[in-house]
Chains A and B, each alone.
Chain A
Amino acid sequence: MNQNIGVVVFPGSNCEKDAMEALADLGATPLLLWHADSDLQGVDAVVIPGGFAHGDYLRPGAIARFSPAMEAIIDFAHNGGPVLGICNGFQVLTEAGLLPGALQKNAGLKFLCKEVELQVESTNSVLTNMTSKGQTLRIPINHFEGNFTCTDETLIELQSQDQIILTYRENPNGSMANIAGICNTTRNVVGLMPHPERACHTLLGSTDGRILLESFIQGAHAAV
């Protein structure tokens, strides 16, 4: 199984090499996609990595969503292509309207870098289909704006359509309903604030991110 996975780079991205390292380690073939380029080079799946896409002074993802690459990714997603947004990537996906809700500043107004415990809420998504419901995953978070917020109606929809895929065991940032990650209704677009790529190597403390990225690589395979 040798999936080509595109990793999008904006000028202020900084986790793209980390995502590529983890994906390659799991047997996929990652390649960089430059934000100003609308050609997705026939990749089987797309990862939008962490960082600060365009500095994100106004709002994370506010500028990124207009990039040529994002326009192509929106089409790709609408055609069922697997898309994963990690941290800043999650923020970009909500700004682009591929995922509902928004990510606000953390309650407590501090940047937070630490390992947290996640609980799998739904295994029905391109990111979680190899996990089991209720499973605990130890994965680091690293963000200032990870506080998931939406209207009450949206939250009810997310819940009734099983779109909440990962929650925090102990809410670090004020997210509604402890939300750490969600998927779209067709379950091929997922976003999460924690960084699975930082939990793929024994030397880095946890390997619980592997199962998520493996699921995603599998999903890319299924989608082809």
Chain B
Amino acid sequence: MDDQLHRSLGLTDDELAKIIEILGRDPNHLELAMYSVMWSEHCSYKSSRIHLKRLPTEGKNVLVGPGENAGVIDVGDGIAIALRIESHNHPSYIEPYQGAATGVGGIIRDIFTMGARPIAIMDPLRFGPLEDARSRWVAEGVVSGISGYGNSVGVPNVGGEIVFDETYKGNPLVNVLCVGILPKERLVLGQASGIGNLAVLLGSTTGRDGIGGVSVLASAGFGDEEEDAEKRPSVQVGDPFEEKRLIEACLELLDEGLVVGIQDLGGAGLACAASETASRGGVGMDFNVSAVPQRESGMQPFEIMTSESQERMLAIVEPENLEQVFAICNKWEIRSSVVGKVTPSGALRIVDDFDGEVLGEVPAASLHEDAPLYERPISEPDDMDTAITDQATTLSGPEKIEDDLFDLLMSPQWATSQYDSQLFLNTVVGPGSNAAVLRLKHPTSGEDTGRGMALTTDGNHRWCAINPRIGSAMTVAESVLNLACVGAVPQALVNCLNFGNPENPVVMWQLSEAVDGMAEACNAFDLPVVGGNVSLYNESQGTNIDPTPIVGVIGLINDLSKAPPGLTWNDGDRIILLGPEANGLNGSAWAFMKGHRRGSLDPIDFDLHKRVCALTRDLVTKELVTGLHDISTGGLGVSAAEMAINSGVGCTLARTPDHIAFFSESPSRVILAVNPELLTEVEQLAAEYDVPHERIGLAHGEIFTVKNLLTVPVKDLQEKWDNRLSDALDGGTTQG
């Protein structure tokens, strides 16, 4: 065997030795190709697995935790909810439209694989600065790809984030979260059991697209242009219409009880699906490559086994149900072919016809369970000590604070109006508020439970760049507070850990710290982690992105007979600020705007945060506030401006002495708009919860005034807010 082959496939010498040990012989090319994709960072989590173990995953409502295609929780009334988040960062830099589109397709398959109907997606996005031509081009393509695929496949997009920052210039982040709903008793797991059962491949033909995609694209950063050019063949094209029919066909197969297990084909294609279903079921499989419908002629077995062609599923079917399976697939115009047979051996045998030549044979479980596990070196950055002394509060204040406020305003509407956010008639609060709120209807009967679910995604690279541990904890805290703002109790969390090159000890330190911070917060808030995704090698030309853990949190609302209050106030409302005193500017959007990216963060006071959340939830449930907004990006200034813009009513804020108080993003704070008649009740409640609160102003008129700081008409704020993205993006974009 060519002794360089394993290296060109991305396997180390040690990894090859391990394969030889497992097989007791040299692997052939096909076997080596399967190990290389299955043992890639993307599929095996070889650098992150030992850290992920520290996340809390148990909860009384958890039906399926991490490790399956998606996490599943029990939400009562016989209903279960599946959720998962995934990244498609690298493909989206190369071909923004298709990269993002196939990202949506992939995460949706993870959800219906569990037997759940996908009912919502969210898209936390990160791009380079708007001033950069290539970043604009990427942003525009990504948003239209998400729109094009998501709308057409018929899953509403109910929220997300859109952030522009220097750190993502050579490496954007495209994370997509999907939520599905299922009758609790129909939960299926991706496993093959029952010797003699058949593996049926459903959906698209298999082509050369995305061969080695996971190992090539997601497990290495970007270099120069020529290297990028070589990654081109890995680009896949999405077909949302195929996916739509695949969803309907698969859900009908599950409704009719015709499949014993089902598995989507994502990273590592058939190699992954076949070996995973077999090893989960504790069985083996004979896999007939020649039965796989091919889009191109002359494909090699290794290409067929590792292709990442989109819109395919593998169903495990009892032979007596095969005809019925075919009938349902025909109805939905879905291709279906028997490609495998479940065997007792524990081996994955790749054959050319079931009674033909054996092309490769490996222990199915070895592709996952024996994947290498690395405890990569970790080291704190050298400049930790000096960074701490570099406080953003020492920056000189703005000359004209209103200009800084203008620069921090950005409506996401340019993106969100391109997404169908309303399909299925569930969306009570769509994109653009504290958290998305959906009606909770029974998945089969359609009956409204009168309850609601709330969803939020959050990430903050600014905090995590300064202190990944505290930053991650604060991120989780922000999510929990976002949910409280719509009256929801958090139930479960999924995360996507977007980090740089794991071979860099500082990046590994960031990852490890972030996991610890997330774990601390989840423990404090009693929030199980039910799934996630790790995206490493987010680097370009040797520069790693700021650590960017993204979390998605789902909550439940007990009584959704009315829509929760939003980012709004009425003329005459009193404005109240809940929570601790503003504390510093480190990691704030304002500081970053001024080029200050260092400093320190104070640990979050979990007890206080929990009281703020509980109070906020209570205020919302008791209908004591006109509107409210958590204080996050841009601080009190931006939160108050958003309330003014949204309601078209100005305000006078009296107790905001300086730009620090105005732009600080310290956590656990909420701005409330309260009808004067309810003021005493609100303040009493705040006192009962032992939450600091302060009257800071009055909503009225058409002018946004902060005493001794600024006076601007609301319509000027509105204009900046509305036009930021369309001014930058609607004139057309080029690749730079």
When each residue 42-63 of chain A gets 1 if its CB lies under 8 Å from chain B and 0 otherwise, what string results?
A: 0000000001101111000000
Tell me the bound Cα distance from A127 to B376 in angstroms: 67
Interface residues of B in 407-450 (CB under 8 A from A): 416-425, 427-428, 439, 446
Given A12-B244, A17-B446, A111 contacting B422 (CB threshold 8 A): no
- Does B596 have its Cβ within 8 Å of any Cβ on chain A? no
Contact of B245 among A11, A114, A204 (CB under 8 A): A11
- Does A140 have its Cβ within 8 Å of any Cβ on chain B? yes
B241 and A18: CB pair below 8 A? no
Contact of B241 among A54, A140, A195, A197 (CB under 8 A): A54
- Does A201 have its Cβ within 8 Å of any Cβ on chain B? yes
Given A18-B425, A198-B425, A204-B428, A11 contacting B332 (CB threshold 8 A): yes
- Does A212 have its Cβ within 8 Å of any Cβ on chain B? no
B425 and A197: CB pair below 8 A? yes
Tell me the bound Cα distance from A201 to B560 in angstroms: 13
User: Shortest CB–CB separation between residue B165 and chain A, in angstroms?
Assistant: 24
A111 and B418: CB pair below 8 A? yes
Given A12-B244, A55-B241, A142-B420, A111 contacting B151 (CB threshold 8 A): yes
B422 and A142: CB pair below 8 A? yes
B369 / chain A contacts, CB cutoff of 8 Å: none
- Does A21 have its Cβ within 8 Å of any Cβ on chain B? yes
Q: How many residues of A contact B (CB 8 A)?
A: 31
- Does A110 have its Cβ within 8 Å of any Cβ on chain B? yes
Tell me the bound Cα distance from A104 to B423 in angstroms: 22
B334 nearest CB neighbor, chain A only = A11
B172 / chain A contacts, CB cutoff of 8 Å: none
Given A52-B152, A204-B428, A113 contacting B244 (CB threshold 8 A): no
Tell me the bound Cα distance from A197 to B424 in angstroms: 10
Tell me the bound Cα distance from A21 to B446 in angstroms: 8
- Does A149 have its Cβ within 8 Å of any Cβ on chain B? no
- Does A22 have its Cβ within 8 Å of any Cβ on chain B? yes
When each residue 13-46 of chain A gets 1 if its CB lies under 8 Å from chain B and 0 otherwise, what string results?
A: 0110110011000000000000010000000000
When each residue 183-198 of chain A gets 1 if its CB lies under 8 Å from chain B and 0 otherwise, what string results?
A: 0000000000001011
Residue among B147, B242, B425 with max Cβ neighbours from chain A (10 Å): B425
- Does B533 have its Cβ within 8 Å of any Cβ on chain A? no
User: Shortest CB–CB separation between residue A186 and chain B, in angstroms?
Assistant: 31
A56 / chain B contacts, CB cutoff of 8 Å: 152, 241
B730 / chain A contacts, CB cutoff of 8 Å: 108
- Does B487 have its Cβ within 8 Å of any Cβ on chain A? no
A12 and B245: CB pair below 8 A? yes
- Does B240 have its Cβ within 8 Å of any Cβ on chain A? yes
User: Shortest CB–CB separation between residue A76 and chain B, in angstroms?
Assistant: 24
A142 nearest CB neighbor, chain B only = B420
B148 and A111: CB pair below 8 A? yes
A11 and B248: CB pair below 8 A? yes
- Does A203 have its Cβ within 8 Å of any Cβ on chain B? yes
- Does B281 have its Cβ within 8 Å of any Cβ on chain A? no
When each residue 86-118 of chain A gets 1 if its CB lies under 8 Å from chain B and 0 otherwise, what string results?
A: 000000000000000000000010111110000
Given A55-B240, A111-B418, A203-B563, A14 contacting B425 (CB threshold 8 A): no
When each residue 147-171 of chain B gets 1 if its CB lies under 8 Å from chain A and 0 otherwise, what string results?
A: 1100110100000000000000000
Residue among A11, A52, A198 with max Cβ neighbours from chain B (10 Å): A11
Q: How many residues of B contact A (CB 8 A)?
A: 34
A55 nearest CB neighbor, chain B only = B241
Contact of B419 among A54, A111, A200 (CB under 8 A): A111
A51 / chain B contacts, CB cutoff of 8 Å: 154
Contact of A113 among B248, B332, B420 (CB under 8 A): B420
When each residue 117-156 of chain A gets 1 if its CB lies under 8 Å from chain B and 0 otherwise, what string results?
A: 0000000000000000000000010101000000000000
B244 / chain A contacts, CB cutoff of 8 Å: 11-12, 14, 52, 55
Tell me the bound Cα distance from A140 to B241 in angstroms: 24
User: Shortest CB–CB separation between residue A211 and chain B, in angstroms?
Assistant: 17
B427 and A204: CB pair below 8 A? yes
Tell me the bound Cα distance from A204 to B245 in angstroms: 28
B427 / chain A contacts, CB cutoff of 8 Å: 204
- Does B144 have its Cβ within 8 Å of any Cβ on chain A? yes
B602 / chain A contacts, CB cutoff of 8 Å: none
Tell me the bound Cα distance from A57 to B420 in angstroms: 18
Given A15-B423, A55-B240, A203 contacting B151 (CB threshold 8 A): no
Contact of B428 among A11, A18, A114, A203 (CB under 8 A): A203
User: Shortest CB–CB separation between residue A201 and chain B, in angstroms?
Assistant: 7
Interface residues of B in 370-420 (CB under 8 A from A): 416-420
B563 / chain A contacts, CB cutoff of 8 Å: 203
B154 and A11: CB pair below 8 A? no
Given A113-B420, A114-B417, A22 contacting B425 (CB threshold 8 A): yes
B333 and A203: CB pair below 8 A? no
B154 / chain A contacts, CB cutoff of 8 Å: 12, 14, 51-52
Given A55-B152, A203-B428, A204-B428, A14 contacting B423 (CB threshold 8 A): yes
B417 / chain A contacts, CB cutoff of 8 Å: 110, 112-114
A201 and B421: CB pair below 8 A? no
Tell me the bound Cα distance from A137 to B428 in angstroms: 19
User: Shortest CB–CB separation between residue B176 and chain A, in angstroms?
Assistant: 17
A195 / chain B contacts, CB cutoff of 8 Å: 422
User: Shortest CB–CB separation between residue B544 and chain A, in angstroms?
Assistant: 34
Interface residues of B in 84-121 (CB under 8 A from A): none
B439 nearest CB neighbor, chain A only = A203
User: Shortest CB–CB separation between residue A31 and chain B, in angstroms?
Assistant: 14
B560 and A203: CB pair below 8 A? yes
User: Shortest CB–CB separation between residue B502 and chain A, in angstroms?
Assistant: 37
A200 / chain B contacts, CB cutoff of 8 Å: 425
A113 / chain B contacts, CB cutoff of 8 Å: 151, 416-422
B420 / chain A contacts, CB cutoff of 8 Å: 111, 113, 142
B244 nearest CB neighbor, chain A only = A12
List 19 additional A-B contacts (Cβ < 8 Å) besides A14-B244, A111-B147. Answer: A11-B244, A11-B248, A12-B152, A12-B244, A14-B423, A21-B425, A52-B240, A56-B241, A57-B241, A110-B417, A110-B418, A111-B144, A111-B148, A111-B418, A111-B420, A113-B418, A113-B419, A113-B420, A204-B425
Could you name 12 residue pairs across A and B whose Cβ atoms are closer than 8 Å?
A: A14-B423, A18-B423, A21-B446, A52-B240, A54-B241, A110-B417, A112-B418, A113-B151, A113-B417, A203-B563, A204-B425, A204-B428
Residues of B within 8 A of A (CB): 144, 147-148, 151-152, 154, 239-242, 244-245, 248, 331-333, 416-425, 427-428, 439, 446, 560, 562-563, 730
Residues of A within 8 A of B (CB): 11-12, 14-15, 17-18, 21-22, 36, 51-52, 54-57, 108, 110-114, 140, 142, 144, 195, 197-198, 200-201, 203-204
What 3 pairs between A and B have smallest CB-CB spacing?
A55-B241, A14-B154, A111-B418
